[in-house]
């Protein structure tokens, strides 16, 4: 049985003091990697620039980039190989598989997202002070919710051919992080 393409979401953190051309180079390389594996990029943009919850490679800030794409599972390994290649610039990356509905919603929301781009960053910022504001303030964008939760329930059934539906491949950049083990 042929392997079907799936939808994935990759989030990666770039160190804050990176040069523009380096940034463009990484982006281009990732795009090429996906293109080479017939991946279809649904969204590729900057998600947020924010304080890291803990120090990674002596950085306390980071710029988050998000890629949402559709591809065969093999492309994920390839993409991550490229991310690992830039392990001094890419502090952290993670790929999760997402549901088709979530991906489609993303596709549709792509235009609106550009306008709202500043808002996720703003609501992400006070995360450190979060327990205090844990009270009644409900900042969660409810409009995004239904499509997100519903397919999650439906997912296990359709994922039958492949045992792991929500494959999470997370990997730290290959270089050893001296701070990491001790700090935790």
Partner 1 sequence: MESPRDRKYFARKKVCRFCTESLEMNYKNIDTLSRYITDRKKIVPKRNSGLCARCQRQLATEIKRARFMALLPYTVLH
> In the range 106-145, which residues lie near partner 1 by CB under 8 A?
120, 123-124, 127, 130-131, 133-134, 139-142, 144-145
Cα–Cα dist 149/178, whole Å:
38
Taking CB under 8 A as the criterion, the residue among 37, 42, 62, 173 binding partner 1 is 62
Q: Rank residues 74 and 146 by Cβ distance to partner 1 and give the closer one.
A: 146
Q: Would you say 71 and 31 are in contact if contact means Cβ atoms under 8 Å apart? A: no
Kindly tell me which residue out of 56, 75, 83, 101 binds partner 1, with binding defined by CB under 8 A. Answer: 56
64 contributes a contact to partner 1 by CB under 8 A: yes
Would you count residue 15 as binding partner 1 (CB under 8 A)? no
Cα distance between residue 122 and residue 128, in whole Å: 13
Taking the alpha carbons at both ends of the chain, their separation in whole angstroms is 44
Query: What span, in angstroms and rounded, lies between the C-alpha atoms of 72 and 136?
Result: 42
Please spell the DSSP secondary structure of 76-93, one letter per residue: HHHHHHHHHHTTTTEEEE
Q: 40-56 and 6-14: which strand pairing?
A: unpaired
Q: Exactly one of 7, 8, 47, 65 binds partner 1 (CB under 8 A); which one? A: 47
Residues that bind partner 1 (CB under 8 A): 11, 13, 47, 50, 52-56, 62, 64, 91-92, 94, 96, 120, 123-124, 127, 130-131, 133-134, 139-142, 144-146, 148-149, 152, 166, 168, 170, 183-184
């Amino acid at each position: 049985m042929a392997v079907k393409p799936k939808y994935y979401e990759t989030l990666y953190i770039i160190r804050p003091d990176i040069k523009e051309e380096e940034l463009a180079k990484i982006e281009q390389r990732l795009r090429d990697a996906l293109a080479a594996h017939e991946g279809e990029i649904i969204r590729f943009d900057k998600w947020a620039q924010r304080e890291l919850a803990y120090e990674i490679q002596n950085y306390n800030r980071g710029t988050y980039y998000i890629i949402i794409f559709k591809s065969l599972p093999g492309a994920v390994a390839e993409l991550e190989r490229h991310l690992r290649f830039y392990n001094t610039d890419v502090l952290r990356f993670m790929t999760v598989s997402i549901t088709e509905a979530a991906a489609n919603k993303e596709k549709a929301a792509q235009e609106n997202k550009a306008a709202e781009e500043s808002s996720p960053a703003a609501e992400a910022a006070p995360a450190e002070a979060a327990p205090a504001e844990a009270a009644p303030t409900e900042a969660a964008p409810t409009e995004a919710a239904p499509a997100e939760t519903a397919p999650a329930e439906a997912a296990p059934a359709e994922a039958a051919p492949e045992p792991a539906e929500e494959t999470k491949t997370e990997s730290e950049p290959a270089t050893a992080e001296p701070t990491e083990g001790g700090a935790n």
